[in-house]
Amino acid sequence: MKSILVTGGAGFIGSNYINYFLNKRDDYFIVNLDKLTYAGNLENLKPVENKKNYVFVKGDICNRELVEYIFERYNIKYVINFAAESHVDRSILGSAIFYQTNVIGTNVLLETARRYEVERFLQVSTDEVYGSLGATGLFTEQTPLSPNSPYSSSKAGADMMVQAFYHTYGMPVVTTRCSNNYGPLQFPEKLIPLMIINALNNKKLPVYGDGMNVRDWIYVIDHNIGIDLVFNDGKIGEVYNLGASNEMPNIEIVKLILSHLGKGEELIEYVKDRPGHDRRYAIDSSKIQKELGWKPQYTFDDAIANTVEWYLSNKEWWGRIISGEYQKYYSDQYSTRIKG
Ligand code: NAD
Ligand code: TYD
């Protein structure tokens, strides 16, 4: 059986990926290497934890000995690298761990993958590496990298390293760059789950700046279907953008969430802007559509309704999260932002 090393598989997108993948295939063995940072949660993997073709290893992608051991022990021939520090606001509070995990960690994986002659290495990246757009235009795969936050610069560094390993060593790499995801199991530091949970708790909804920053939203399952296509059929050395052409200003999303929950707009609180806040992201995904036949399967209206419903039905999941270390993060992040 072919073995895939999936890193960061206990986080939001990685756990959705593993649950989706193992539900439809049993011809691969998945080794999930995850450090279980604040964002990693083994509860996310309940549906697969007893599968014979799945094993979880708690550990750091920066740990060379451990990574080497995993390649040897499980005869790894494929890698999908989801593991990352993923939140822009946290990267502004402290950047070192972002460069450690996102850059050095990717280097450890690439070096080991090179020695073990993997057949495919998929780097899960983000549209944020392209920087910020003005009122018009879309990011294509040709848009120069121009990251603005510690988070996006660490991801851009990793992307360039992946390309360098392709050009220098001929490594069989592929890269996906996706827009903002939403869906079940997303840690409630990101816009959509944070607003849902605050609204359910009748807490203020902190909207940064004028609320008119634009993100291009994609349902996590559509992202993972794209990853799977690129993993199987993507051309070596290529980058594929993924996005569902669903641009929305933040304030509209926040109002939509309130209306889904039957809550009033008096909960909205405009707060001090994020430093260096990228104004607009919007992605052109015509390459993956034309070359690999991908297209989003979910409409925003249906998928946001599913997502709100999931958080309503899974209060225990997020209740455990927000009662822990999250409290300290929330006060570090938001106490200095409130105006006045
Ligand atoms: P997440 O923060 O929910 O999960 C990250 C996972 O990585 C966690 O389980 C964490 O424990 C693990 N991890 C962190 N550091 C590690 C380390 N040193 N070693 C091993 N595991 C480690 O993030 P996510 O939203 O699921 O994002 C997954 C990937 O997708 C990231 O690479 C991110 O840059 C990329 N991405 C995210 C989005 C988005 O909207 N969330 C969009 C595009 C791309
Ligand atoms: P986020 O979910 O952190 O994703 P990213 O910064 O990677 O795009 O934020 C999405 C948008 O929502 C971004 O423009 C910042 C804004 N935002 C708020 O207005 N308030 C919040 O509390 C958060 C977390 C985000």
What sign for the dihedral angle of Cα 141, 119, 125, 62? negative
Give me the residue spans of the domains in the chain: 2-182+219-243+278-295+327-334
Give 245 Cα–ligand 2 centroid separation in angstroms: 18
For ligand 2, atom 3: residue with the closest CA: 190
Tokens found for residue 271:
């707060």
Residues near ligand 2 (Cβ within 6 A): 88, 180, 190-191, 194, 206-208, 213, 215, 250, 274
Kindly identify the ligand whose nearest atom is closest to the C-alpha of 9: 1
Q: Is the pTM of this model over 0.85?
A: yes
Q: How confident is the model at residue 329 (pLDDT cuts 50, 70, 90)?
A: confident
Ligand 2 mutation target, pool 89, 250, 329, most atoms within 8 A of CB: 250
Q: How confident is the model at residue 338 (pLDDT cuts 50, 70, 90)?
A: low
pLDDT tens digits, one per residue of 179-192? 999 999 999 999 99
For ligand 1, atom 37: residue with the closest CA: 126
Report the topology of domain 2-182+219-243+278-295+327-334.
Answer: Rossmann fold (3.40.50)
Neighbours of 155 (CB within 10 A): 29
Question: What whole-number distance in Å separates Cα of residue 23 and Cα of residue 18?
Answer: 8
The atom of ligand 1 lying closest to the CA of 10 is 9
Ligand 2 mutation target, pool 191, 205, 250, most atoms within 8 A of CB: 191
* CA 266 from centre of chain: 31
pLDDT above 90 (res 44): yes
**Mean model confidence pLDDT for the chain:** 96
